[in-house]
Amino acid sequence: MRQHVNPLSRVHQRPLPLPPPAELFGEPARPIHLDIGSARGGFLLELAQQEPGRNYLGVEIRQPLVQAAEADRQALGLGNLHYLYCNANVNLQQWLGALPPGQLERVSIQFPDPWFKKKHHKRRVLQPALLLAIAGALAEQQELFIQSDVLDVIEPMVLLIEASGYFQRPPQDGRPWRLDNPLAVATERERLVLQQGLPVYRVLYERNRQPLGAWPELPLEQRPKATDNPPERPELCP
């Protein structure tokens, strides 16, 4: 059951400076995997133990989930993992801009809240300003991975990312959707969806060489541009 939080409410619009890597990790110079919308944190908790060579940061807007995830992390004494409470579209952009060039190795956005009504689309996690901040922090060939079990959620994300001009898909990946998860660990939501025999829609992007430019005249999501994904919605076998 998804527990929705309105990111546009006053309490979640307050500026909240996020601590730098030196205050989060035991070895702060390691590459960073940022998971936006980390929920209860089980995905990163497992991944940080399986692949200890990088640092992991999970950000989540539901503060009780962050507190529970941090308790699990501390119980295991993991110095390469941290969870932070924040609204990604309010607090994350400054943190991304302050990272040393090339340190952000991967960003994942997995099964974000759908916000189906059109008037609520502005509450969705991947907004143009956040995407530009991600593009600015990722070096060439570093990764942005998205997945969802809801086509009406992931298709606008694909359109936005590809309209930005800052990302490309690995040529060997399947179209319209990547069939396998490039990460070593599945999220709780992914496991539940697959257990029910339902499809998961995945796309892996790599940062290209396009230098970060000025804002377009229109919001990115309104720019008409063809994407790698055709308009048809074929059935997917996960």
H or E segment to which residue 143 belongs: strand 138-148
CA distance linking residue 76 with residue 113, whole number of Å = 29
> Does residue 228 have an active-site annotation?
no
CA distance linking residue 125 with residue 150, whole number of Å = 14
CA distance linking residue 110 with residue 127, whole number of Å = 15
The separation between the first and the last C-alpha atoms of the chain, rounded to the nearest angstrom, is: 21
Question: Which of 35, 72, 113, 228 is labelled catalytic?
Answer: 113
Q: Hey, what are 39's tokens?
A: 């929920």
Backbone angles phi, psi at 199, to 5 degrees: -80, 150
Q: Hey, what are 47's tokens?
A: 């991944």
Which DSSP state fits 178?
Answer: B
Tokens 């025999």 belong to residue: 197
Which residues, including other chains, have CB under 8 Å from residue 196's CB and lie 6 or more apart? none
By annotation, the residues acting in catalysis are 113
